[in-house]
A and B are shown apart, each in its own frame.
Chain A
Amino acid sequence: MAKVIVDGIEVEIANGSSVLQACEAAGKEIPRFCYHERLSVAGNCRMCLVEVEKMPKPVASCGQPVADGMVVFTDTENVRRARRGVMEFLLINHPLDCPICDQGGECDLQDEAVSYGRDTSRYDEAKRAVSQPDWGPLVKTTMTRCIHCTRCIRFSTEIAGVPELGATARGESMQVGTYVEKALSSELSGNLIDLCPVGALTAKPYAFTARPWELRKTDSVDVLDAGGANIRIDARGAEVLRILPRMNDAVNEEWLGDKSRFSVDGLKRRRLDQPWLRDGARLRPATWDECFAAIAARIKAVAPSRIGAIAGDLMDVESMFALRDLFTSLGSGNLDCRADGARFDASQRQFYVFNTSIAGIEDADAILIIGSNPRHEAPVLNARIRKRYLASPTFIGHIGLPHDLTYPAMHLGTDPSVLAALTDGSHPFAATLRAAKTPMLILGAGALARPDGAALHAAAWALAAQFNMLRADWHGFNILHHAAARVGGLDLGFLPAAGGQDTRAMLDGGVDVLWLLGADNADIAAIPPETFVIYQGHHGDAGAARADVILPGAAYTEKDGIYVNTEGRVQQGFIAVKPPGSAREDWRIIRAASASLGQPLVYDTLAALRTRLAAAHPHFAAPAAFRRLAATDLQGPAPGQVALSNAPFTAVAANYYQTDPISRASPTMAACVAAHSPADNTNFGLAAE
């Protein structure tokens, strides 16, 4: 530890810290453009100059390591003069186009110019201007505004692991860009917009939409993948305009995947804003009462064993809890939240969560990824694996379709036969796993949805047990889900009761009345024509197309809801805008339906529902409390009926950008798909609107 005195305040800080960190520890704000806590130190903007006793010149505090006994001054006349000089140089080539710049109001340069800018410019030469390259449908470039802080270059190289950006040429000709014009191929490219301290990189879909001070900001949780990234929903009036990440070191640090960030325009398209009822071959607009009456008539006409419910990928815990209560009171055990048709043993929580935890990845020294492409299924979590790889030597093996995961991963094979080779030690990676102190294994939820998913589940557990991944101090068995609702549903036991039918059985005609709670990703086509389908959800997607009754629900931005991410972390999102038209929050719809079915649920408010929820499942009582599970019970999951096959693993979705009703309705996501697969640009017209 080093003792540093900053403006008379003594702070103690770890050796190797920078002077800037010491200043922050003392509560002093240091202006900066290039320095960022999560990126390497570049030291090229020079804005963070401070004075240090016995040093003849002001020093850039971001790059200066602390020394014991250092005396730092952050606010002397000399420091202010130096920063004013730096600011004047930065503004020499920066256009004065703040009125037409999207960064206005949340621009670091603008903010610092208030403190350190001159009132007039002394520069009367021509300003530099550069071309505006096209970086694809997400990031809008105005490189004339670039102050060459290189944060975007460092982010794409270090965090995203897709080194496409660089600084070409030099001096006044230096340009930040891709050199060869191309759309950025990272799934984390939206974060460049947050990182850019000026208006050089702004959000293309959000261009010229709103000023930050017009927006109403609501904290929430992302549901478009199972990582549970913390987000801030920015809305104006009844419209969600953009989604930004919130900082949470345990989950998403401060990053957010492009799908989660840019699917917002899907929230106002293809929406179900009123109830519909099938009348012969067509759906007609109906009232809530008509729909509930039709549902009651059908449900009362069949035996409880002939009704069933499937919960989809985006649902909040409350609505699944309410629907489960309703079906229990109706006497039906036909429930399943595994809309993808997976059949695996979910009898213990450690069988289906990401036990190591996302932050725990940083403690692993060997990682085996089975049947998953984390880069597409959870890009922010994938960035964590890359962070681990960069921090210290980590051996990563990958079984599945070969894919660039942004870090070197040894490709062990494409089918489950590798598991056997690892078990008997004939595969060289087995030695790596055996030598590792904290090995972990990531099994993709897509692999569990295979016909032999249960066998794979058991085999993976056995592998984890064999390679010492299941210990009291370390749990290395992980399921990487891609559906935000899945762990919540499994926690609730939204699963077939004894003798109940699972997703596959219900879809294949096992029930006469099927309640799809946002289950668009289920195999809808398999439902026989005579089944009465109730679709409750927010988008006119696959489920609504097949429905006999449509109950318009709320998207995740339009309701208070609890979600459980893939590591089992319980998080709460808040309502940002009201659902459109006569759509309602989902638990309310289920409560209303329960009344018309003659089995009213015992709660009338969300608070009462949550009290019941917490009583039934204590871990929902304190959402903030999250702790890793220790592997205590080594008895693995049941291997199921289907033997392990050697069919190769397949991808969960055709692409990263369109995986759920919201992103499928988003023109921006369609444009991304078009930009990244030139052969399939059928959706491109949609993006032009």
Chain B
Amino acid sequence: MSGQTEPFTFDDISETAIAAAIAKYPAGKQASAVMPLLHIAQRQMERAAGSAWVPRAAMDAVAARLGMAPVRVYEIATFYLMYNTKPVGKFHLQVCTTTPCWLRGSDDIVAACKKATGIAQFGETSADGLFTMTEVECLGACVNAPILQINDDYYEDLDTARTEALLAALKSGAPAPPPGSTIGRHASAPLTGQTALRSPSQATQNAE
């Protein structure tokens, strides 16, 4: 696997974050910081290599830093799906296909992603190395389903056309479109505008 064993050392930004993470735990219990440290390593890879993943060398670095056996770190990194143990593209497309999103058309989003990126299967990376598509479970934003999480940002209320436009924009190298609802919905407010509390409540009027 590419780059799994390339030497890995923490950079200055990471070191600051590591010091803060370890300081949260009592002395001698620094192994508790393993999850923040893996995240810090993944962030550093994103900064340095443009791909947010944790190579084995980074897991070993985390193990050495925390005085853990490397295999204990491997266990944690492979258990949690948000640590990428293989390289991912610059844009990590995480499509939610759990029931609410699926009812609201997540199959269309998957198809649109495949069409726009040329990816055939979940878990693959596009030929240009820009996109990796992953199937994820509920992202917890069902009100604005279907959801596509790209790196850290949620894009909501998608359909085929808007997904294709979004990916085209990313592909062109333009600044990423603002996250959130792609139809201008404010937070999770109803599509048809406010349906309750349209006038000041009785209680409020009485108080006046």
Contact = CB atoms under 8 A, between A and B. Distances in A.
A166 B71 contact: yes
A163 B71 contact: yes
A166 B71 CA distance: 6
Interface stretch (A167-175, A216-224, A577-585): A167-175
Nearest to B77: A168
Contacts of A157: 69
Interface in B50-79: 56, 69-72, 74-75, 78-79
B79 to A, nearest CB: 5
Nearest to A177: B71
A166 B75 contact: yes
Interface string A440-456: 00000000000000000
Nearest to B5: A180
A179 interface: yes
Interface in B79-123: 79
Interface string A154-185: 00010000011111111000000011100000
A166 B68 CA distance: 13
A156 to B, nearest CB: 9
A180 B56 contact: yes
B79 A178 contact: no
A163 B72 CA distance: 8
A168 B80 CA distance: 10
Contact of B71 (A169, A170, A178): A178
A130 to B, nearest CB: 14
Interface residues of B, number: 9
Chain B binding surface, main DSSP class: helix
Chain A binding surface, main DSSP class: loop
Nearest to A171: B79
A168 B69 contact: no
Contacts of A167: 75
A168 B56 contact: no
A168 B72 contact: no
B69 A169 contact: no
Nearest to B71: A166
A170 B79 CA distance: 5
A170 to B, nearest CB: 5
B56 A163 contact: no
A36 to B, nearest CB: 20
A136 to B, nearest CB: 16
Given A157-B69, A163-B69, A179 B74 contact: yes
A116 to B, nearest CB: 30
Given A163-B71, A163-B72, A178-B71, A169 B56 contact: no
A166 B79 contact: no
Contacts of B69: 157, 163-164
Nearest to A173: B78
Contact of B72 (A166, A178, A180): A166
B191 to A, nearest CB: 37
B207 to A, nearest CB: 51
Nearest to A168: B78
Question: Which residue, B71, B72, B74, has most C-beta atoms of chain A within 10 A?
Answer: B71
A164 B74 CA distance: 10
Contacts of B72: 163, 166
Contact of B78 (A164, A165, A179): A179
B79 A179 contact: no
A461 B78 CA distance: 52
Contacts of A180: 56, 70, 74
Interface in A458-512: none
B71 A164 contact: yes
Nearest to A179: B74
A219 B56 CA distance: 46
A178 B78 CA distance: 12
A372 B56 CA distance: 35
B137 to A, nearest CB: 12
Interface of B: 56, 69-72, 74-75, 78-79
24 contacts: A163-B69, A163-B72, A164-B69, A164-B71, A165-B71, A166-B71, A166-B72, A166-B74, A166-B75, A167-B75, A168-B74, A168-B75, A168-B78, A169-B78, A169-B79, A170-B78, A170-B79, A178-B71, A179-B71, A179-B74, A179-B75, A180-B56, A180-B70, A180-B74
Given A164-B69, A169-B79, A179-B71, 5 more contacts: A163-B71, A166-B72, A168-B75, A169-B78, A179-B75
Q: 4 closest A-B pairs (Cβ-Cβ)?
A: A163-B69, A166-B71, A179-B74, A168-B78
